[in-house]
Amino acid sequence: MPGKPKSGPPYTDTPPGSYIVITNPWGMSHNIRDRSQLDANRVAAWAQLVLKEATGSGRVPSVECVYGMGTRDEIIVQFPQGTDIAPLLGEHHWAAFSRISTPDDPHSSCIFAYNWLKNGDPANRECALLPCRV
């Protein structure tokens, strides 16, 4: 009798989008329970601005959704499939782009590619969907 299909890693299905993980996300409430659509909109707008600056101009892919990760201070951001996320990857010092930060502000957000093969669809994990409209 065949067993149940494997549902754990590696997740070999094709992801529906391009994903990034942001630690210490700029523009989001530090209290994870207080995060709202406004916070998600702010982060989505920032990510889109980084992509726009990297391409120079033209059409920029919009953020499809933002996932909160429970009690962890990181989020997962989904872009349309095929989005070049390379300009977003790395450390982003808040003082370099935020008007409310002082030049010596030590805060930064780190962005890395989401590991779909290991973690699968964030919608199927214990991630809260934060609606965003940008």
Q: In this predicted model, what pLDDT tens digit does every residue of 37-59 receive, in sequence order?
A: 898 898 998 899 888 888 776 78
Task: Report residue 116: phi and psi, to 5°.
Answer: -65, -45
Across 115-127, average pLDDT: 87
Instruction: Answer for the pair 50, 87: CB distance below 8 angstroms, yes or no.
Output: yes
Lowest mean pLDDT among 41-50, 64-73, 85-94, 98-107: 98-107
| pLDDT band for position 130 (cuts 50, 70, 90) | confident
Closest to 62 (Cα-Cα) out of 75, 44, 46, 74: 44
Question: 7-17 burial by CB neighbour count: b if 16+ within 10 A, else e?
Answer: eeeebeeeeeb
pLDDT value, residue 97:
75
Q: Give the global pTM.
A: 0.85
pLDDT value, residue 101:
64
Say how many C-beta atoms besides its own lie within 10 A of residue 93's C-beta: 15
What is the chain's alpha carbon radius of gyration, rounded to the nearest angstrom?
A: 16
pLDDT tens per residue across span 95-111: 777 777 666 778 889 99
Q: How far is CA 49 from each of CA 33, 52, 62, 127, 132, rounded to the nearest angstrom?
A: 26, 5, 10, 25, 15
